[in-house]
Each structure stands twice: as C-alpha cells, then as structure tokens.
Chains A and B, each alone.
Chain A
Amino acid sequence: MPLLSVNNLSVSFDTRAGVARAVRDVSFQIEPGRTLGIVGESGSGKSVTCYSLMGLLPQPPGRIEAGQAVFDGVDLLHISRRQLNQIRGRRIAMVFQDPMTSLNPYLRVGDQLIEPLLIHQKITRASARKRALDLLDEVGIPDAAHRIGMYPHEFSGGMRQRVMIAMALITKPDLLIADEPTTALDVTVQAQILELMQKMRAELGMAVILISHDLGIVSGFCDHVIVMYAGRVMESARTEELFYQTRHPYTRALEKSIPALQAKGRELYTIAGGPPDPFHPLPGCPFAPRCDHAVDACAAAEAAPLEVAPDHLSACLRVQKENLQI
C-alpha cells in the first residue's frame, strides 16, 4: 500500500490577471521508505503540488479544485486544520528552498529545532534539547551545545540548511518533502547536503519527495522520477528507465540541457521558446509549440499520461499512439 497517493490533483490561482491553472490532474504514489523526485522548470507546478499536500497553499488566491491526497488512509486535502496539524511536522516534514529566510530570525536555533517535539509529543524541554543536540551532531554541526543557543543569522547558509533538516527529522517523520533543498546553496555545499539527506534517509527509513529543477540531482537521489511541465505530469518512471528509455520529448530535451553530459566546447543546448502562459492554456499538449516531434494532432487535443511500459507513464500522444522512439 502506498504511503501517499495523490490522485488527480488540480490547483488554480485566482489573480487579477485571471485564473492561472498551476497544477492539472497530477497523480503519483510513493511507497514507504522510497524516494520520489519531481522535476520541472520554474512554474511547472512542482512546489505548488507539495504545498497543497501540506496545507501551505495560501488560499485565496490559491484554490484546490479537485483531487485527493491520501496519506496513510487520510485525505490531506479534506481534513480539518486541526487534524492536518497533527500530521504535518510529525509524520510529514518539509525542508524549504531558502534556509536564509525559512528560519525565524527572532528565535534561537534551539527553540526552533525542538518546536516540533514540543508541539507533537509529551516531552520535557530538557529531553527535547538533548534530542536536538544529538541530531545537530548527526547532521554535522560542530560544537552543537554552543550553537544551539545561537540565532540563525550567526549560521552560514549550509549550516542553516543542516538545521532545517535536523528540525524536519527530529520527530522521525514517515515522509520528508524537500523543496529544492540545495538550490540556494553553494555548489560544494549542495553535495554535502544531498549526502546528508541520503544518510538520514537510510538511517530513519523514511520516504522522501525531492523537488528540483535539476535532473542531475534528482537522478542521483531518487528511485522514481516524475517530470512536470506546465502543471502536468509529462513522464513518470523509475530513474534508470527514465534516462535510458526516455518516452517523452520534454524529458529528452531536459536531459540534453544538462551541461555535464555534453561534449566540452559545444554550445549549450537550450529548448527553444518559453513555457506556455498559465492564464491561457493551450487545447493540446503544452509542450507541442516547443517540441521537435510535434504533429498537428499534438496541438489539437491534450493527452493524459498513460502507461507505455510497465510502471512507466508518458503523456506524449505520439509515444502512446505510434510508439515513437525519442
């Protein structure tokens, strides 16, 4: 049984410029202890998907139009705030993109670190503090006993993200959602943070959803990858299969955009054009205007992701109909 099963999630934003359809008909599952990557460019709806699950979507302007998100038998999208607060921070934890702004500058690191324990468990401050110290040590913060009394601005970016991770893991959650956890960090620190997350995942045996715009990071971390574009799932497959048997032109284009995989000295590959306007969605495949393989049928009608191989979904009409090889 999956730990979390998201079914047909659709989210819109009501703005002055009109209704922006940020997430459309997104479905995925994650089993306990597994790792799922969600990849897509800015505005593809990957973060909005996860914020919706956590009840962190500002509503209004955000609006969850349809869908379910069943976590351990409970639909996260249709429970009371009180029930949701019993789950978030205890069974599902989250790490955010920017550790500079995600920690409260007015509170000591230690107080923020132990807050999930104080909220969710009957525990004294002293033993919560002890747990926090152990965990800080484990996430690689030297001199934890001293640092626990400091404020976030006295930490570097990488150290803050370590604190964020420790804070998310302190209740030993079943699921960790990491929203671009390394994007705001230096490249050298990025690798350390990913390594730390990998280590903690192995130790605690939790499931992880890793959101990233970086296909490289996701492929190194996750068992399974979902590629999103314009609020929709384009392709979904086991990581190796996604790379070696790519079944969607957009995924292929993303792969070609990874500079490290290209020959040195060649001009970097870019996908021509820009992402579609979320206020005026196209009737057909959202990638069709930028797609090398597009035919007239692509622009006419939207294709839902279908299984094109065992446990491998593709939303490409031509892959589905003609078994197009990309």
Chain B
Amino acid sequence: MLRFIARRLLETIPVLFIIATVTFFMMRLAPGGPFDTEKQVSKEVRAHMEAHYGLNKPLFQQYLIQMGHLLRGDLGPSFKYPSRTVNEIIADAFPVSLELGFEALAVALVFGLLAGTIASFKQNSPWDHVPMSLAMIGLCVPTFVMGPLLISGFALHLDWFNAAGWFSPRDRVLPALTLGAYYAAYIARLTRGGLLEILRQDFIRTAQAKGAGGARVLFKHALRGGLLPVVSFLGPAIAGLLTGSFVVETIFGIPGLGRYFVTAAFNRDYFMVMGSVLFYALFVILLNLLADIVQVWLNPRLRFE
C-alpha cells in the first residue's frame, strides 16, 4: 500500500510538469496580452512594463525562467494586482473557498446519502420517487439559476438571510446550499444505484438469514460496497468544491479563489493563470489518490500486491 501511494505521488511530478508546459504555451498562443485592457498605454510605458515582467525576452527563455520559479514554489507576481504575488492571493482566497467547499460538501453528503439510502430501501414508493425527482431537478437546474432562486425566496421574500456577502455564519447557508445542491443530487442518485445493486446480492439474503436487522444489514453489509461509486465520484468532486466556484462566488459576492481563477484567464494574467491551474491540478491529483486509497480500503478484492 505504501509503495502504491509513493508511486502515485511520484507520478504527480511529470503530470504537473506537463500541465505547466501546456498551460504556459496555451496562454501565450491565446490572442491578446496582459496589458491590453489598460486604456491608452503609450508604447514606452507598455514596453517598460513588459520588460519589468520579462515578457520581452524570447518565449522559450521566458518558459525556462518561469519553470525555474515554479520549481522553487514561486508562482510569480500578478499583473492585475501588482502589489500582491500569486502566492499571496491564493493564500488569502483559498481559505474562503475551502470553507465554502466544506460546507457545500456537508450539504451534499448529508442530503445525498440520506436521500439515496432511503430511496433504495423504499424502492418504487413515494420515498423513492419524491427524493429522486428532486435530485433530477437538482441535476438539471444550473447553479446560476439555483442561486438567484434561493436568494429571491429566502433572502428577499422571507428575509432569513442576506442576499450576498461573506461576514456572519448565516451568510454561509445560501451559498453552501447553492453549491451543494448539484453534488447532493448526484450523490443521491449514485447512492441509490449503488445500494440497489448491493441489496440484490445473495450475501444480503445470507445476512437476513442470520437474523440481522435492517440497520445491521444496511451499515454492516450493504453500505461498504454500495458507496464505492460515491467514493470514486467524490475524489474529483471534492477538488472542484474546495477550490471554489466562480458562479457561486460571483452571485453571493464571496472573496474566494474561484473568481480569481476565471478573471485571471480573461485578464491574461499569465502567472495567476499558471498558479491557479497548477493549484487546481495538484488538488485533483491528490484527491483522486485519496479516493483510490479509500476504495481499496473499502473493497478488499482490490488489494493485490
């Protein structure tokens, strides 16, 4: 197991290297440059700025310089926020996204697992149909519709929450629901499907023949195998949740990382793009590894060495 983990961790190095390379050249291939949005910049000023950031050097030399910085963990300065480095921006914004992500994850897991479990135990009854229809709606309604809907219902009409902002704990509720709804819906369907598959198996009948009650059958015998599809979904899903959502952060005015990711690309903020891509990639790789480890732990048949 340790060898497996070590091998997978070593494999991340070439993957990150390739991602960095592709990101670098794709950004430079994209039309426009970091200073195009500034109004009326004279040729001299522009040349001076490009020289300052080293953008006047040959492309391949720029690439080598940036890779050198990256190796030392230096993500470079931001063009858009000249007073801050990319490292500082991520350090500031990431905790916000992380908190929102965990809250949304909690929403997704609680509602998703509960609804999926009940639906599978009461298959083809209203306990199945109602949550699964809601889940279908949750999957179909995009975040940018769900957010404003929740705001107009719970913030504007009922006045239970603020429409936007990120100050009090109450401000966490609507963004977490908005962000978590899709994942809750997906997890509910995966849980239901996984459990139905397991509950049909012969060994469930064996457990019942032993006199195991419903709770024992569920928790001891069914859940382990039934949750395998959920676990493999959760790896990349958690990475997406924790690194921030542009839409939700924009709707609710949350100073999280997701907004920086997207605006950086629009601004051709080269170093910021590189920093956020690598940060996200690392997250996805590590959480996929974690999901794989959990799967092996859950399913002994995968343990071959």
Residues of chain A at the chain B interface (Cβ within 8 Å):
54-56, 81-82, 84-90, 93-94, 96, 98, 101-108, 115-116, 119-120, 151, 153, 164, 167
Contacts and interface: CB of A to CB of B under 8 A. Distances in A.
Contact of B216 (A84, A93, A106, A119): A119
Interface string B201-245: 111011111111100100011001100000000000000000000
B211 A151 contact: no
Find the residue from A55, A93, A96, A106 having the highest chain B CB count within 10 A: A106
Given A102-B203, A103-B206, A104-B221, A89 B211 contact: yes
Given A105-B301, A153-B300, A55 B208 contact: yes
27 contacts: A54-B208, A55-B208, A56-B208, A82-B213, A85-B211, A85-B213, A86-B211, A89-B212, A94-B209, A96-B209, A98-B202, A101-B201, A101-B203, A102-B206, A104-B221, A105-B299, A106-B221, A106-B224, A106-B225, A106-B298, A107-B220, A107-B221, A115-B207, A119-B212, A151-B301, A153-B301, A167-B210
B183 to A, nearest CB: 25
Contacts of B207: 104, 115
Nearest 8 interchain pairs by C-beta: A89-B211, A89-B210, A101-B202, A104-B203, A94-B209, A106-B224, A151-B300, A85-B211
B121 to A, nearest CB: 13
Contacts of A167: 210
Given A98-B202, A101-B202, A88 B220 contact: no
A193 to B, nearest CB: 17
Nearest to A119: B211
A120 B202 CA distance: 22
A98 B220 CA distance: 21
Given A93-B210, A94-B209, A102-B205, 7 more contacts: A56-B208, A85-B212, A85-B213, A89-B209, A106-B225, A106-B299, A115-B212
B203 A115 contact: no
Contacts of A87: 211
A93 B209 contact: yes
A34 to B, nearest CB: 21
Contacts of A84: 211
A273 to B, nearest CB: 32
Nearest to B226: A106
Interface of B: 201-203, 205-213, 216, 220-221, 224-225, 298-301
A84 B203 CA distance: 19
Contacts of B209: 54, 56, 88-89, 93-94, 96
Contacts of A55: 208
B210 to A, nearest CB: 4
Given A107-B221, A151-B301, A120 B206 contact: no
A12 B298 CA distance: 38
Contacts of A86: 211
B208 A105 contact: no
B301 A120 contact: no
A153 B303 CA distance: 11
Contacts of A120: 211
Contacts of B205: 56, 96, 102
A96 to B, nearest CB: 6
A56 B207 CA distance: 10
Nearest to B214: A81
Nearest to B223: A106
A24 to B, nearest CB: 24
Contacts of B299: 105-106
Contacts of B220: 107, 115
Contacts of B203: 101-105
Contact of A96 (B202, B212, B225): B202
A304 B5 CA distance: 68
B208 A115 contact: no
A263 B143 CA distance: 77
Find the residue from A82, A88, A98, A108 having the highest chain B CB count within 10 A: A88
Given A105-B300, A105-B301, A88 B202 contact: no
B102 to A, nearest CB: 28
A120 B301 CA distance: 29
A88 B301 contact: no
A84 B213 CA distance: 10
A250 B300 CA distance: 47
A110 B201 CA distance: 20
Contacts of B201: 101
Contacts of B301: 105, 151, 153
Contacts of A107: 220-221, 224
Contacts of A153: 300-301
Contacts of B210: 88-89, 93, 115-116, 119, 167
B56 to A, nearest CB: 61
A87 B285 CA distance: 50
Given A119-B216, A153-B301, A104 B211 contact: no
Find the residue from B210, B216, B221 having the highest chain A CB count within 10 A: B210
Contacts of A54: 208-209
A61 to B, nearest CB: 11
A120 B211 CA distance: 8
